[in-house]
Amino acid sequence: MTDNGRQDSGRAAEAHALAFLNTQGLRLLARNWSCRLGEIDLIMLDGDTLVFVEVRYRKHSAWGGALESVDTRKRQKLIRTAQLFLQKEKRWSNHPCRFDVIAMGSQQETNWLRNAFDC
């Protein structure tokens, strides 16, 4: 698959995840928030809880599934990026936070793992 094909699949997965989370009552604050440390796919509000969402799509599970792709290195990068978001966006710094993962495969099944890992 070309880089453009992966980007298209990634964008489609993010759009699907956003629509799904909206139906669950979460509200979008930022999409593809990026800084020098990395990017957070979706930043949502669930009640008063700030939710940093990593969206993972895997067409094939040959190299591991979507959930398994959020390894220790990826988690640490997400945590550092979220910390920088909170430093820059001070209005959110006193809200409780969590990290969720939305994992999807080729059948567009949606696996929502709330509080997927701790910082």
Give tens-digit pLDDT for 63-88.
Answer: 445 556 678 899 999 999 999 999 99
Total count of residues recorded for the chain: 119
pLDDT tops 90 at residue 27:
yes
Q: What are the Cα distances from residue 27, in Å, to 4, 23, 49, 75?
A: 28, 9, 11, 23
pTM for the predicted model, two decimal places: 0.86
How big is the CA angle at 103 (ends 46 and 51), to the nearest 5 degrees? 20
Q: With contact defined as beta carbons under 8 Å apart, do 103 and 66 qualify?
A: yes
What topology is assigned to 3-117 in CATH? Trna Endonuclease; Chain: A, domain 1 (3.40.1350)
Residue 24 corresponds to which amino acid? Q
Q: What is the structure's pLDDT at 14?
A: 93
Q: What is the structure's pLDDT at 60?
A: 54
Q: Could you report the per-residue pLDDT of 92-102, keeping only the tens digit for each?
A: 999 999 999 99
